[in-house]
């Protein structure tokens, strides 16, 4: 059914159609509307049987989800930013126990300074936690990926994050096709857990493991992720046959078959990138793009295949590994190792800074002309940063360096505000 609907409400309705049996909720911007809508749906009896549990923290939310899943229930939760970091220990436990929990990440920056707007620092900080990570480009894809996520999680018995850009998608109103319950039921079978705690048949899960077996346990987690590389395209194909839409999969190339320059990115920014690619194609520039939908497990072979004919690769990412540069770009470099192609890292959109078509157009023209630096910060306020660096360097020789640097960082933040 076509609806003009807020992204968060669309995601909530998709979750409801997946018939979760336990929803653990601790609201944090920008995922609050998702769990609010789910709470109302449970209260009205629109999702049943389902227990909606308000908890005291994000750590508790994931802990309750772990207990529910281990007891054999289809479990769901959502979080963002500092909330994801607060539950980090439990996030690792969920994957270590092989529990098929589905969690929405309303992607948001991580402080300090405090910032509630979108980037990918939160989910990428958990990229090695053993969860499958799927990134939505549109609200329609956010709906579709959640339906696929439950089936993927339960077929492999691994947890799945569906990453949805905060505000850009979660709070945007647009037309979304919400499936019918019968369609979802045909695609997603009832939950049949591989493991379940049962007082009548007592077992222990997550017990102490020594050096003689710990590596093997971690390898099995890695093996399951490698299985996902084959299963994700199969589930996306089955979804397309059932619902008539091409959503999900590993990667999505766009006008890249004959492109000299290919731009790689995660999430909603791919829509803006495609618009710029279309404009530049009309001007005769050989450029295309590659959207990575599945970031964990990283689809190395699919990325390599999509990029093998490019002369140069530009990775636009909403994250920064402080002290080195790109996060996604590092994985892309690994994927194209030996092909002798330059991979340029562009850090963009941190803390919700707009990524405009004009800025991208200038960036891609520089790349096409071979003038793009290896690491670049899009729309960085260079004058302000250089002024503060010069001041800090001067004070470094005349006073307590740590105090002066912290004062300088505070000055930059206050001037930008």
The 3-state secondary structure of 48-62 reads CCCEEEECCCHHHHH
Cβ proximity of 381 and 388 under 8 Å: no
What is the distance between the alpha carbons of residues 63 and 60, in angstroms, rounded to a whole number? 5
What is residue 407's predicted lDDT score, i.e. its pLDDT?
Answer: 57
Residues contacting 357, CB < 8 A, separation 6+: 272, 275, 276, 279
Measured CA angle at 352 (ends 349, 354), to 5 deg? 60
Instruction: Give the closest residue to 164 by CA, choosing from 117, 123, 107.
Output: 107
What is residue 204's predicted lDDT score, i.e. its pLDDT?
Answer: 87
What is the distance between the alpha carbons of residues 322 and 260, in angstroms, rounded to a whole number? 30
Cβ proximity of 55 and 64 under 8 Å: yes
Instruction: Give the closest residue to 97 by CA, choosing from 188, 224, 8.
Output: 224
> With pLDDT > 90 as the criterion, what percentage of the chain qualifies?
89
Residue 381, number of CB atoms within 10 A of its CB? 14
What is the distance between the alpha carbons of residues 155 and 98, in angstroms, rounded to a whole number? 11
Strand partners, 79: 105
What is residue 179's predicted lDDT score, i.e. its pLDDT?
Answer: 98
Residue 287, classed as helix, strand or coil, is strand
Would you write out the chain's pLDDT as a tens digit for each of its 417 residues? Answer: 999 999 999 999 999 999 999 999 999 999 999 999 999 999 999 999 999 999 999 999 999 999 999 999 999 999 999 999 999 999 999 999 999 999 999 999 999 999 999 999 999 999 999 999 999 999 999 999 999 999 999 999 999 999 999 999 999 999 999 999 999 999 999 999 988 999 999 988 888 999 999 999 999 999 999 999 999 999 999 999 999 999 999 999 999 999 999 999 999 999 999 999 999 999 999 999 999 999 999 999 999 999 999 999 999 999 999 999 999 999 999 999 999 999 999 999 999 999 999 999 999 999 999 999 999 999 999 888 888 888 888 877 665 555 555 555 555 555 544
Measured CA angle at 245 (ends 240, 246), to 5 deg? 75
Encoded tokens for 281: 């194609």
What is the distance between the alpha carbons of residues 130 and 95, in angstroms, rounded to a whole number? 5
Instruction: Give the closest residue to 162 by CA, choosing from 174, 179, 147, 172.
Output: 147
What is residue 417's predicted lDDT score, i.e. its pLDDT?
Answer: 45
What is residue 401's predicted lDDT score, i.e. its pLDDT?
Answer: 54
Q: Give the mean pLDDT of the chain.
A: 94
Q: Give pTM, 2 decimals.
A: 0.94
What is the distance between the alpha carbons of residues 356 and 149, in angstroms, rounded to a whole number? 31
């Amino acid at each position: 059914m076509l609806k003009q609907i807020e992204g968060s409400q669309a995601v909530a309705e998709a979750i409801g159609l997946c018939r979760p049996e336990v929803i653990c909720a601790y609201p944090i911007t920008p995922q609050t509307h998702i769990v609010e809508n789910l709470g109302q749906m449970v209260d009205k009896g629109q999702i049943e049987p389902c227990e909606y549990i308000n908890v005291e923290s994000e750590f508790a939310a994931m802990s309750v989800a772990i207990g529910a899943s281990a007891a054999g229930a289809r479990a769901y939760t959502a979080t963002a930013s500092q909330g994801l970091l607060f539950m980090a220990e439990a996030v690792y436990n969920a994957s270590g126990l092989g529990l098929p929990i589905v969690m929405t990440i309303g992607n948001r920056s991580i402080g300090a300074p405090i910032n509630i707007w979108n980037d990918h620092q939160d989910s990428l900080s958990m990229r090695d936690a053993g969860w499958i990570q799927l990134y939505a480009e549109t609200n329609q894809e956010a709906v579709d990926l959640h339906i696929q996520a439950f089936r993927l999680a339960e077929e492999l018995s691994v947890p799945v994050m569906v990453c949805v850009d905060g505000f850009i998608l979660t709070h945007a109103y647009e037309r979304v096709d919400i499936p019918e319950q019968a369609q979802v039921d045909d695609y997603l079978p009832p939950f049949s857990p591989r493991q379940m705690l049962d007082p009548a048949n007592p077992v222990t899960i997550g017990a102490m493991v020594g050096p003689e077996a710990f590596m093997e346990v971690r390898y099995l987690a890695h093996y399951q992720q490698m299985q996902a590389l084959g299963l994700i395209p199969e589930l996306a194909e089955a979804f397309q046959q059932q619902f008539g839409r091409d959503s999900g999969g590993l990667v999505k190339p766009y006008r890249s078959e004959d492109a000299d320059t290919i731009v790689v990115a995660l999430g909603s920014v791919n829509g803006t990138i495609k618009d710029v690619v279309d404009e530049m194609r009309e001007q005769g520039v050989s450029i295309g793009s590659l959207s990575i939908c599945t970031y964990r497990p990283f689809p190395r072979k699919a990325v390599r295949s999509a990029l093998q004919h490019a002369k140069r690769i530009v990775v636009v990412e909403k994250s920064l590994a402080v002290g080195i540069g790109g996060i996604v770009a590092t994985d892309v470099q690994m994927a194209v190792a030996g092909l002798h192609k330059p991979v340029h890292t562009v850090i963009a959109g941190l803390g919700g800074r707009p990524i405009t078509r004009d800025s991208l157009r200038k960036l891609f023209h520089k790349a096409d002309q071979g003038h793009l630096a290896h690491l670049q910060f899009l729309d960085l306020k260079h004058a302000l940063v250089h002024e503060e660096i010069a001041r800090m360097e001067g004070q470094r020789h005349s006073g307590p360096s740590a105090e002066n640097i912290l004062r300088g960082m505070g000055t930059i933040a206050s001037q930008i505000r």
